Structure 1
């Protein structure tokens, strides 16, 4: 298993993330609607808005998963926040970075993952919108474009809520 590398700007990213006062907050109906839509649109059992802090990925919104968080060192989202585009693993069992990951070999049984970094206006990537399946699957360029549009809606919603909390 390959642990996600730490972003070069990690200290600044975490400072910004904490300024959002987002972690461990109540659910949000607007975000939940997007997560539910993503799960239905892509016909996947799990969709998440995952926020990546220093030690964990915490789920601000979730469909199809009981857990509220998982350790960052086994997270797929920790890898996804390193890039600028959709991070896709079509078959986790064939990917040496993840084939022995507890989220793959254990009860969650992840076989497919696609996650888009939530890149805020500040430039910091605070987490992902991700979809997960327990079956391998193909993910086309147009699928990535749709997931990226949904992620941009999440970012807009989070930015608007952050501005309101500053007032």
Structure 2
């Protein structure tokens, strides 16, 4: 019998395995979205921020290595900064590493995620976005299209804890469904 070492943090999977990523990338290519800004998605993110009162909102598509915010709303004018591991004062930008943030969890879980204060959850408190940009609260939902594929997410974040509650959960789920319908209309060319 070989000795086994115990790792108390092994249950804290910071970035979940995403076995659907290759199929998602193929579906996003088919739709022509996920790797460039889309003005309609920027407008959607602006409206999402306005509805929730959050300072940051995103329409996020995730591949094997990165996240791409095809829709982005920030309180700052410049929305082109890339967020990476060596930028401790970075603001949310269009590209983010896959191991940053909470959307990778939403896409794998295929369910909305409400984190009123990320520091209340050891699994999420150690995420790089907490220290790099001061994210303290998150509200996100998956974009599940007509094929059953989780294409991406819609989310809002704040640098302060937020009592999103049941109303926040219902709002983000409703907004995700609305955006999926918009994507389907784009696909049909309507």
1:33 aligns to 2:43 (yes or no): yes
Q: Residue deviations 1:95-127, cap 9 Å, x none?
A: 212222221011x21100010100011100011
1:8 to partner: Cα distance: 4.1
> What is the CA–CA distance in structure 2 between the aligned matches of 1:26 and 1:70, rounded to whole Å?
14
Aligned to 1:142: 167
Aligned to 2:186: 161
Q: Residue deviations 1:5-49, cap 9 Å, x none?
A: 2234343233222322212234223x2332112111211110100
Alignment of 1:17-96 (within 5 A): 17-29=28-40, 31-64=41-74, 66=79, 67-96=93-122
Q: TM-score when scaled to structure 2? A: 0.78
> What is the CA–CA distance in structure 1 between the aligned matches of 2:66 and 2:45, rounded to whole Å?
20
Bigger Rg, structure 1 or 2? 2
> What is the CA–CA distance in structure 1 between the aligned matches of 2:61 and 2:24, rounded to whole Å?
12
SS of corresponding position for 1:59: strand
> What is the CA–CA distance in structure 1 between the aligned matches of 2:131 and 2:37, rounded to whole Å?
30
Q: Which residue among 118, 124, 131 is the counterpart of 1:105?
A: 131
1:142 to partner: Cα distance: 2.2
> What is the CA–CA distance in structure 1 between the aligned matches of 2:37 and 2:140, rounded to whole Å?
22
Count the aligned residue pairs: 163
- Where relative contact order (Cα < 8 A, 6+ residues apart) is larger, the structure is 1
SS of corresponding position for 1:18: helix
Unaligned runs of 5+ in 1: none
1:3 aligns to 2:29 (yes or no): no
Unaligned runs of 5+ in 2: 1-11, 80-92
> What is the CA–CA distance in structure 1 between the aligned matches of 2:20 and 2:34, rounded to whole Å?
19
Q: Which residue among 152, 161, 165 is the counterpart of 2:177?
A: 152
SS of corresponding position for 1:118: strand
